[in-house]
Amino acid sequence: MEPGLKRTTIARFAAGVASLCGAIGLLTALTSEMWLLTPHGWGTGGILLLLIALFVLVDGAVSFEKTRSSTLPIH
């Protein structure tokens, strides 16, 4: 398995869940009902999860590039 692949997969899954949180927040705002959190809470949670996913994705990409550059021949 390539380095950073597991982190990339986790980041993609987290980004999907963050999008789902945003959609739930939009739905709760449109229906004016509260589902465990207010629409603002769903949006904030989605944004936070999306930022964490972005940092994990960048970390996976850096890890992949480090291993790739260390295996290249030096001229």
At 32, the amino acid letter reads S
pLDDT, position 14: 92
pLDDT, position 75: 62
Give residue-wise pLDDT tens across range 51-73.
999 999 898 888 888 887 776 66
At 59, the amino acid letter reads D
**Distance (Å, rounded) from C-alpha 58 to C-alpha 70?**
18
Give residue-wise pLDDT tens across range 4-51.
788 888 899 999 999 999 898 888 888 877 777 787 888 888 899 999
pLDDT, position 35: 73
**Distance (Å, rounded) from C-alpha 64 to C-alpha 55?**
14
pLDDT, position 15: 92
